[in-house]
């Protein structure tokens, strides 16, 4: 089949939703094989007509089989931003359709495409007719020079490249060899290097397989349809049709080209994928990857936006990009895939990043305050996390008591210090280096404690993902962090092997050669302990500003996020426990909450791990607490509310000796969720001598405020007029501010502190020296959370909603994303939910919004308390009496409808965080007459 040449054309914009016809133009440029005409989306004329002079150009390049329509959202967002009064940056967008693609000129193809040979390397188009990588980079350069962007760049006009798919290779390739013109680079899913030992992704192998290449890409539209079916969520029919439009028979009015003849470039693009050294474009791809490394060495600002669900551009290609561009800012959109600009809004991170990374003279901003402001060395006021191991290495008193799992035991300070040294030496010998990421797939206990402190002492970064995330959640977390090493017990290593997690493997215990080979294990921790039993680790100590750990959130409010802590910030957390809660060196801490068990050695406290399932806090029994407290002489207990509920439920089985042991406990701390006053009273009966405190915090900052039992009883009395759950006063150096809510449920840019914040409903914003350093590989999330930060102080937007009372105590009323935007103003769910929960016969309630933003109806969903012998009510509308009671209790919040269900969904881990998003969808379905079902 011969594919004839065809001219470029302006598309029919009436069939292209979101694309302004004023952006389309044809540009004829002198390329290496003559004049060629390109269809280009260019917002420059629109800006010029409005009298706006752009400060820079985003040079965008699509991949295969998309076209410049892919960048319509970027074009629209930059025009809107540039037209705002006082805009600090104005970005022109120039997005070309590559030759043979979209609405650009079609080349004459003497035959159906087959891969080029090495002899044809370096040619813009081969005898086969299609453009090679060399030619595509040259074409981009020709358009840049035709538009005069190169001249403007030398006069101070900024050029920032943006690419996707194989357009990422083209744009980065052009940027690498025009580094004098480029201010920054941005790319979405792409790849610039294919290791010979790695197979091509399955979809590409299939497309390149012999006769399938022309059959699936040119003769039929299979490749096109497969690509546009990759949306998360699926593309609308209108958008899918728009992407297909240039490749249909009637794409260019007045031409006789058929559909297959319009798709020659799709097949040619696939044929040009360098599958090995013998391929014609392999040498050019090598050159692109080498030039990209130069951009890395020159620290050219770089942004990578990534969709992990991409079946073609896998995470290994992202890892390669990060090696070449170590300075790059990265944001992984965990729910997105190959068609990233269609899956999520990429305009927010692009414009925000450009403002920060490529500032103009009008737009100079201070760098985001982070760990680099921490002291460069340790001082008397800030102790390294391993300091007590150095000071107490001659003491034979207990450091760790481990009663969990199949290998319980006790470890003295002397033994713990020795083991940490030997493991650090062994890890260093095996190849672990400072800054390496080490995923710790080890249950809490003595082994995890020793391994973690060895990593900290060595300067490696411990990556900790809660097993409660499940296999899928942990896999997502490990792939996001991309550790160089995995240390695990047999179950964790088995999952890592089956799920193909990245990282070299080290087992805790020594296994047979057969097992080690099957798991791809290189060494074992126990073997390191034997080989280096008498050695002291003498490597340089990491600085307070160095990364220490990445802790993943619970995933109960979305995909789990990696939270980065530095050594200095973890040391500040240990100091807070010591100074605020009097956890002094020599004390004994029983932790049913893993993070605080691991902090024990940093405080100089004996850490006791009770016999319980790590993934099920509610598996902690009163007997297990008594056994661990007795073994360790513990006087402090730290556990989640879910764990304490089961401790209370099993307390009747305690014998006298166990009760006596628990009577010696003088402090009970419960974090993870607010503790109900009733539960506090019940806990007080189990620990009769203890003060009971409920600190408020999150993975991003584990301790922020604190409230004790007496205060909770005082502020939650019957005559209290406060909404939500009181979590107390800020502790130590913590500062709490409120960002008032707008009518649309978002939080304002204004922070209120002190008396001016009292009684104002808004997002809770906090600042503390023990707070996270940032989110790992989530640039946009981190930028949003730090938007109030200054060079002098870090602030973190918690996404919790609440208010401060007149005494400065913080009340939590829900999550920002769950605020109901009623016509009367924003409604936080926590207040009415608490009042409904207090009704007799109500086990749990949730308040959600149904309808358009700003006019949402307030809907209450009630789970009745179970009654023995009585069936739960069928899900749906509540009866008249329950509706009356709920509306009365929720007042002054006007409840439009009351629904009942047998289960209000909550997170499995904490049994406290209500899935209001899921409930809102269920409620909307019922109220619109849809199928009832269960939420």
**CATH code where residue 96 lies:** 3.40.50.1820
> Do both 781 and 837 map to the same domain?
no
Residue 166 lies in a domain: yes
For the record, the structure tokens of 19 come out as 């694309």
> Do both 344 and 275 map to the same domain?
yes
For residue 256, the model assigns a pLDDT of 57
Strand pairing report for 547-552 and 562-566: antiparallel
**CATH code where residue 586 lies:** 3.40.50.980
**CATH code where residue 786 lies:** 2.30.38.10
Contact (Cβ atoms closer than 8 angstroms) between residue 486 and residue 441: yes
pLDDT tens per residue across span 708-741: 999 988 887 756 788 988 999 999 999 999 999 9
For the record, the structure tokens of 279 come out as 């391929």
For the chain, the first-to-last Cα distance in angstroms comes to 55
pLDDT tens per residue across span 21-63: 999 999 999 998 899 999 999 999 999 999 999 999 999 999 9
Show Cβ contacts of residue 242 under 8 Å, excluding neighbours closer than 6 positions: 15, 16, 17, 19, 69
Give the separation between CA 875 and CA 902, rounded to whole angstroms.
7
Give the separation between CA 815 and CA 673, rounded to whole angstroms.
13
For residue 118, the model assigns a pLDDT of 59
Among 119, 125, 148, CA closest to 137: 125
Give the separation between CA 424 and CA 426, rounded to whole angstroms.
5
Looking at 674, 694, 714, the residue that finishes a domain is 694
> Do both 843 and 892 map to the same domain?
yes
Give the separation between CA 41 and CA 58, rounded to whole angstroms.
11
Residue 381 lies in a domain: no
Number of domains making up the chain: 5
Contact (Cβ atoms closer than 8 angstroms) between residue 166 and residue 274: no
- Reported residue count of the chain is 935
For the record, the structure tokens of 662 come out as 């628990």
Contact (Cβ atoms closer than 8 angstroms) between residue 72 and residue 58: no
For residue 39, the model assigns a pLDDT of 98
Residue 291 lies in a domain: yes
Looking at 542, 559, 590, the residue that finishes a domain is 542
For the record, the structure tokens of 459 come out as 């300067």
Q: Which residue has the tokens 């010696």?
A: 664
> CA 66, 185, 339 angle in degrees (round to 5)?
30
Contact (Cβ atoms closer than 8 angstroms) between residue 461 and residue 548: yes
> Do both 44 and 149 map to the same domain?
yes
> Do both 799 and 844 map to the same domain?
no
Give the separation between CA 240 and CA 247, rounded to whole angstroms.
12
Residue 353 lies in a domain: yes
For the record, the structure tokens of 326 come out as 């170590």
Show Cβ contacts of residue 494 under 8 Å, excluding neighbours closer than 6 positions: 519
Contact (Cβ atoms closer than 8 angstroms) between residue 492 and residue 451: no
Give the separation between CA 650 and CA 622, rounded to whole angstroms.
6
> Do both 752 and 797 map to the same domain?
yes
> Do both 447 and 511 map to the same domain?
yes
Range of the domain at 853: 819-935
> Do both 427 and 444 map to the same domain?
yes
> Do both 650 and 727 map to the same domain?
no
> Do both 668 and 635 map to the same domain?
yes
User: Is the C-alpha dihedral spanning 788, 794, 797, 803 positive or negative?
Assistant: negative
Residue 868 lies in a domain: yes
pTM reported for the whole predicted model: 0.92
Residue 561 lies in a domain: no
Give the separation between CA 121 and CA 128, rounded to whole angstroms.
13
Residue 567 lies in a domain: no
Q: In the chain, which stretches have pLDDT less than 70?
A: 1, 117-128, 253-257, 361-376, 380, 405-406, 556, 594-595, 614-615, 718-719, 907-912
> Do both 616 and 765 map to the same domain?
no
For residue 278, the model assigns a pLDDT of 84
**CATH code where residue 842 lies:** 3.30.300.30
Give the separation between CA 617 and CA 30, rounded to whole angstroms.
68
> Do both 679 and 704 map to the same domain?
no
Looking at 694, 717, 742, the residue that finishes a domain is 694
Residue 566 lies in a domain: no
Contact (Cβ atoms closer than 8 angstroms) between residue 90 and residue 53: yes
């Amino acid at each position: 089949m011969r594919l004839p040449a065809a001219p470029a054309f302006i598309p029919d914009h009436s069939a292209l939703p979101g694309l302004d016809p004023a952006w389309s133009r044809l540009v004829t440029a002198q390329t290496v094989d003559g004049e060629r005409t390109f269809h280009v989306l260019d917002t420059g004329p629109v800006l010029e007509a409005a009298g706006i002079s752009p400060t820079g150009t985003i040079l965008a390049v699509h991949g295969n089989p998309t076209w410049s329509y892919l960048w319509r959202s970027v074009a629209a967002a930059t025009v809107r931003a540039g037209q705002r009064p006082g805009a600090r940056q104005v970005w022109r967008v120039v997005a070309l359709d590559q030759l043979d693609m979209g609405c650009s000129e079609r080349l004459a193809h003497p035959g159906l495409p087959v891969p080029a040979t090495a002899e044809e390397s370096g040619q813009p188009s081969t005898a086969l007719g299609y453009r090679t990588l060399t030619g595509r980079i040259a074409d981009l350069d020709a358009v840049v020079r035709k538009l005069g962007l190169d001249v403007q760049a030398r006069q101070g006009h900024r050029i920032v490249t943006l690419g996707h798919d194989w357009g990422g290779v083209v744009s980065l390739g052009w940027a690498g060899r025009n580094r004098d013109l480029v201010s920054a680079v941005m790319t979405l899913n792409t790849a610039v290097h294919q290791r010979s030992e790695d197979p091509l992704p399955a979809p590409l192998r299939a497309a390149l397989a012999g006769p399938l290449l022309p059959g699936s890409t040119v003769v039929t539209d299979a490749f096109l349809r497969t690509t546009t079916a990759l949306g998360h969520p699926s593309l609308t029919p209108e958008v899918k049709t728009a992407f297909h439009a240039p490749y249909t028979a009637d794409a260019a009015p007045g031409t006789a080209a058929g559909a297959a003849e319009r798709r020659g470039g799709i097949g040619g693009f696939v044929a040009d994928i360098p599958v090995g050294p013998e391929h014609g474009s392999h040498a050019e791809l090598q050159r692109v990857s080498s030039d990209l490394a130069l951009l890395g060495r020159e620290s050219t600002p770089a942004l990578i936006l990534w969709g992990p669900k991409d079946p073609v551009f896998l995470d290994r290609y992202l890892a390669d990009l990060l090696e070449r561009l170590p300075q790059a800012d990265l944001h992984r959109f965990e729910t997105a895939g190959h068609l990233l600009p269609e899956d999520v809004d990429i305009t927010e991170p692009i414009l925000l990043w450009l403002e920060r990374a490529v500032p103009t003279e009008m737009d100079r901003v201070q760098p985001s305050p982070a760990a680099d402001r921490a002291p460069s060395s340790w001082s008397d006021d800030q102790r390294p996390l391993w300091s007590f191991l150095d000071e107490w290495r001659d003491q034979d008193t207990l450091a760790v008591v481990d009663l969990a799992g199949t290998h319980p035991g006790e470890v003295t300070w002397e033994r713990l210090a020795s083991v940490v040294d030997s493991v650090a030496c062994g890890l260093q010998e095996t190849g672990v280096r400072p800054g390496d990421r080490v995923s710790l797939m080890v249950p809490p206990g003595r082994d995890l404690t020793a391994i973690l402190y060895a990593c900290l002492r060595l300067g490696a970064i411990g990556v900790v993902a809660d097993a409660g995330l499940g296999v899928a959640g942990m896999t997502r977390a490990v792939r996001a962090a991309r550790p160089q090493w995995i240390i695990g017990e047999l179950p964790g290593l088995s999952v890592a092997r089956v799920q193909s997690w990245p990282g070299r493997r080290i087992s805790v215990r020594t296994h047979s050669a057969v097992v080690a080979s099957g798991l791809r294990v290189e060494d074992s921790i126990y073997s390191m302990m034997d080989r280096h039993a008498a050695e002291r680790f003498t490597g340089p100590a990491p600085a307070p500003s160095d990364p220490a750990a990445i802790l993943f959130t619970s995933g109960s409010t979305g995909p789990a996020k990696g939270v980065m802590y530095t050594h200095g910030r973890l040391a500040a957390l240990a100091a807070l426990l010591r100074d605020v809660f009097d956890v002094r060196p020599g004390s004994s801490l029983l932790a049913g909450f893993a993070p605080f068990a691991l902090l024990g050695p940093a405080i100089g406290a004996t850490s006791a791990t009770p016999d319980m399932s790590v993934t099920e806090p509610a598996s902690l029994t009163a007997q297990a607490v008594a056994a661990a407290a007795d073994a360790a002489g513990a006087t402090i207990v730290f556990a989640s509310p879910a764990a304490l509920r089961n401790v209370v439920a099993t307390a009747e089985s305690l014998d006298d000796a166990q009760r006596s042991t628990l009577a010696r406990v003088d402090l009970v701390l419960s974090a993870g969720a607010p503790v109900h006053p009733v539960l506090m009273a019940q806990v007080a009966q189990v620990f009769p001598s203890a003060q009971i405190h409920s600190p408020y915090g999150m993975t991003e900052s584990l301790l922020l405020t604190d409230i004790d039992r007496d205060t909770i009883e005082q502020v939650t009395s019957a005559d209290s007029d406060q909404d939500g759950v009181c979590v107390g006063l800020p502790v130590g150096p913590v500062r709490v501010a409120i960002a008032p809510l707008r009518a649309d449920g978002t939080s304002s840019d204004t922070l209120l502190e002190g008396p001016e914040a009292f009684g104002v409903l808004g997002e809770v914003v906090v600042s503390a020296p023990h707070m996270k350093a940032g989110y790992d590989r989530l640039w946009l999330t981190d930028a949003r959370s730090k938007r109030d930060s200054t060079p002098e102080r870090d602030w973190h937007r918690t996404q919790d909603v609440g208010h401060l009372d007149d005494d400065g105590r913080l009340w939590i009323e829900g999550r920002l994303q769950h605020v109901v935007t009623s016509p009367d103003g924003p409604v936080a769910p926590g207040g009415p939910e608490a009042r409904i929960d207090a009704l007799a016969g109500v086990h749990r309630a949730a308040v959600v919004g149904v309808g358009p933003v700003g006019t949402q109806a307030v809907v209450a969903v009630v789970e009745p308390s179970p009654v023995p012998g009585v069936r739960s009510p069928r899900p749906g509308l509540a009866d008249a009496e329950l509706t009356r009671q709920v509306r009365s209790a929720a007042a002054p919040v006007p409840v439009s409808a009351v629904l009942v269900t047998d289960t209000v969904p909550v997170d499995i881990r904490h049994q406290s965080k209500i899935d209001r998003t899921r409930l809102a969808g269920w409620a909307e379905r019922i109220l619109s007459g849809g199928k009832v079902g269960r939420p």
